[in-house]
Amino acid sequence: MNNLKEYLQNNQKNPSKELRLGSATVYVKEELLPTIDLNKILDFVTKTLPSQFLENIEMVYIGNFPFLKVKEVDAIFENGAIYISNKVENEHELISDLIHEIAHSFEEIRPEELYSDGLIEEEFLAKRERLFMTLKTRGYQVDRTDFLNIEYDRKFDNFLYNEVGYEQLGGMTNGLFISPYAATSLREYFANAFEEFFVNDMNTVKKNSPTVFQKIINYLEF
């Protein structure tokens, strides 16, 4: 990734036009759709999020990156940089991707503050247990140990995505998780709630993920 950063920095498409997300530089390797106003989005995110949430981001890269396709995602945070596909379809999607990855960047430098008291993990695992019982009742072959693992596991995600199906899972997890993907790991549970808080409806987070809601509120009150 570090070599990729250097390559992109030296080959940005518009070197005379510097874009910023807080103190991070934004490089556009391949252009977004013409209907997406990147300046407006960066301004919105910068004004919406307190600067402390952006402190672990050095760069943002936008382009057609093969490693995103391999991981089957539109965005990822790695080594101080956010990489986002230029194929996002609209401004709301781009804002959501940015803020979701900002959440991951933030938890990377504040794990003790977020997770050391065990409250988010306790909330997450209680929801996982309810999901386990729901799936078992509906006849799925499930192993409780998979639901006790708080780390992301691709096999478990594939089970939820391919065998259960996110559409059907959405019905099972309505009022339990912000979205089906939030059930895949503790970190995605946090990032999903963080994204919902700042992009859509903070009251949904307060209702569905009250512990994460309070953690975010605590930072906003600093």
How confident is the model at residue 1, as a pLDDT? 45
43 CB neighbour count, 10 Å cutoff? 13
- The structural architecture, per CATH, of the domain 2-109 is 2-Layer Sandwich (3.30)
Q: Is the CB of residue 95 less than 8 Å from the CB of residue 45?
A: yes
**Residue (of 102, 109, 74, 78) closest to 199 by Cα position:** 102
pTM above 0.85, yes or no: yes
CATH 3.30.2010 residue spans of the chain: 2-109
How confident is the model at residue 18, as a pLDDT? 77
**Average pLDDT by consecutive 10-residue portion of the chain (222 residues)?**
47 58 94 94 94 95 93 93 96 96 96 96 97 95 95 93 90 90 96 96 95 94 64
Can you say whether the dihedral through the CA atoms of 48, 51, 54, 60 is positive or negative? positive
Query: What are the angstrom distances between the C-alpha of 140 and each of 47, 89, 135, 136?
Result: 45, 34, 5, 5
Number of H helices, E strands in the chain: 12, 5
How confident is the model at residue 174, as a pLDDT? 87
How confident is the model at residue 184, as a pLDDT? 95
How far from chain centre, in Å, is Cα 39? 21
